[in-house]
Amino acid sequence: MRLWQVFQKKSRYSCPVCHSRNVIKKATRNGKRRFLCKENNHWFEINFNHHNAESPPLWVQYIDGLAFRKLGAQINYSGVQVYNKVIPQLEALPDNIEVTKEYCDMAKMSGTLIVDGKFVKVRGHNKKIPFIFGIDYESHDIVNDQLSLAEDGQTFDKFFRELKQAGYPLKIVVSDDRAGLKTACLRHYPGVLFQTCVGHFMENLRKLLSTRTDDKYQHFLNSLKLHVFTEPRNMAEAIGGLMLVRDNHGQTDPTVQNIILEIHSRQDEFFAYHKVTNCPNNTNLIELFNSHLNGRLETIKGFTSFKSAAQWLNGWVLRRRTKKFTDCDKKFKHLNGKCSLEMTIKKQPLWAIILQKLYKTKIPKSGIQEPEI
C-alpha cells in the first residue's frame, strides 16, 4: 500500500463487493449517486431517496422493527452509523404527555380509560420494571404512559396527575386489580368509577378451579360468563343473572357460593361499565397493543439503561398514535385509515404540524396524510 493511501480520508460509504471504504464519489442523478471503488474498480450506486422528505425518518423504521444493520444496508451505512443517527432522533421527540397537552381536544375524548402495561428488561435492574399506559377507549389514543422503577402508588399518582393537568375528562378506569391505582386516581379524580377487567377475573377463576384439566366447574363458569357478564344490559339484570347462577350451581357447593358472594360484594367494580355508555368490561383493547409491544420487546432483548428504555418506549407510543389503523372491526371499523391522534386533535391544521415535528415531512397541498411506510 502506498503512503498516500494510508493517510487519505476514508469515505463513509463502502463497496458492496469488497467492503472497502476507499471509494470516490462521482455523478448524482435523480437522487442516486455513483461511486468507484479504487480497490477493485467496481462501480456501484446508492439511492439517496431514502433521505427525502416523503420517506419516514430512521427512528420510525427502527421502531417499526428494522434492525440497525438492515437499515444501514438500505443506505450503505454501518449499523453503528445508523445507531448514531437514530438515537438523536429519539432524543429529539417530544414527550407523549406533552403531545397530549398541546395538541389534543379533550372534548373529543370519551373519558373511558383502559389502563394496563408491560414489564420491560433493563440492564442494571434485578427484575423487569413496569411500563404503564392508558388508552382512550373510543379513539384508541394512548393519552399517557409511564415508565417507572416500581408499580406502586407513587407511579400511578404521577400518571393520573399528568392526565389531570392535561385536562383529560376521566369518567371510568378499566383495569385489572392493580395495587395503588384506585387511591392515586381518586386523589386527582374524586368520584371516578372503576371497572375491574372481567377477562382477568375469569382467567383467575379458571386457574383456581383448574378447569383446563378438570371440567367439574366448566358449566358453572360458562353460566357465569353468559348470565352475569355478557347478556345483562344493566346492573339489575347482572345481579339477577348472578342469583340465577347461584340457584343453579351454588346450592350445595361452598366453592361456588364463595365466588358468588365475592362478585356480589364487589358489584360496584364488576358492573360499573353499565353506568357509562359504550364502556367495556375488559381490557382486551389494550391487550392488543400489549401484544404488538411484546413482539418488539422480544426482538430487542432488553435495554441498556433506564434512559434508553424511556426514549424507545416514548418513540413506540408516538408511532402508535400516528400510524393508521388497518384492521379494526365491528364498532371500530370507522377508525381504519385514520390515526388515533388524528381522531383527538384540536383542529386539522395542527395534524400537519405534528407530522412535520415527528416525521419531518412536507405539508401536502391537497389533504393531510401520514407518510407511507
% of the chain exceeding 70 in pLDDT: 89
**Tell me, what amino acid is at 75?**
I
Domain edge (last residue) among 275, 299, 325: 275
pLDDT of residue 340: 94
Mean pLDDT throughout 264-287? 95
pLDDT of residue 287: 87
Query: How far is 64 from 69, CA to CA, in rounded Å?
Result: 14
Threshold 0.85, pTM exceeds: no
- For residue 110, being part of any structural domain is answered with yes
Mean confidence (pLDDT) of the chain: 86
- For residue 228, being part of any structural domain is answered with yes
Domain edge (last residue) among 230, 253, 275: 275
Q: If pLDDT is split at 50, 70 and 90, which confidence band does 192 have?
A: very high
% of the chain exceeding 90 in pLDDT: 61
Mean pLDDT throughout 212-221? 92
Helix, coil or strand: residue 245: helix
- For residue 89, being part of any structural domain is answered with no
Domain shared by 189 and 205, yes or no: no
pLDDT of residue 12: 61
Domain shared by 212 and 348, yes or no: no
**Is residue 239 scored above 50 in pLDDT?**
yes
Other CB atoms within 10 A of residue 155 CB = 21
The answer to whether residues 68 and 82 touch, using CB atoms and an 8 Å cutoff, is: yes
**Is residue 367 scored above 60 in pLDDT?**
no
- For residue 171, being part of any structural domain is answered with yes
- For residue 25, being part of any structural domain is answered with yes
The answer to whether residues 133 and 313 touch, using CB atoms and an 8 Å cutoff, is: no
**Is residue 102 scored above 70 in pLDDT?**
yes
Q: If pLDDT is split at 50, 70 and 90, which confidence band does 49 have?
A: low
Domain shared by 142 and 107, yes or no: yes
Q: If pLDDT is split at 50, 70 and 90, which confidence band does 54 have?
A: low
Mean pLDDT throughout 84-92? 93
Mean pLDDT throughout 186-208? 95
Q: If pLDDT is split at 50, 70 and 90, which confidence band does 109 have?
A: very high
Domain shared by 223 and 336, yes or no: no
Domain shared by 242 and 261, yes or no: yes
Q: Name 36's Cβ contacts closer than 8 Å, sequence gap at least 6.
A: 23, 24, 26, 42, 43
pLDDT of residue 5: 42
- For residue 103, being part of any structural domain is answered with yes
Residue 230: phi, psi to the nearest 5? -120, -55
Q: Is 10 exposed, middle or buried (0-12, 13-18, 19+ CB in 10 A)?
A: exposed
With CA atoms as reference, report the closest residue to 163 among 183, 145, 137, 139: 145
pLDDT of residue 11: 57
Q: Which residues pair with 144 in a beta bridge?
A: 134
pLDDT of residue 74: 80
Grid cell of 318 as nine digits? 408516538
Question: Locate cell 357509562: which residue?
Answer: 276
Domain shared by 239 and 175, yes or no: no
Domain shared by 141 and 151, yes or no: yes
**Is residue 69 scored above 60 in pLDDT?**
yes
pLDDT of residue 179: 75
C-alpha 167, offset from chain centre = 21
Q: What is the CA radius of gyration of the chain?
A: 26
Domain shared by 29 and 106, yes or no: no
Query: How far is 117 from 287, CA to CA, in rounded Å?
Result: 9
Domain shared by 242 and 155, yes or no: no
- For residue 250, being part of any structural domain is answered with yes
Residue 273: phi, psi to the nearest 5? -65, -20
Domain count, the chain: 3
Domain shared by 211 and 312, yes or no: no
Query: How far is 129 from 112, CA to CA, in rounded Å?
Result: 26
CATH code of the domain in which 290 resides? 3.30.420.10
What domain range includes position 339? Answer: 96-196+283-359
Query: How far is 59 from 88, CA to CA, in rounded Å?
Result: 9
**Is residue 89 scored above 70 in pLDDT?**
yes
Domain shared by 174 and 291, yes or no: yes
Mean pLDDT throughout 287-311? 91
- For residue 253, being part of any structural domain is answered with yes
Mean pLDDT throughout 242-259? 92
Domain edge (last residue) among 212, 242, 275: 275
Grid cell of 192 as nine digits? 371516578
Domain shared by 128 and 243, yes or no: no
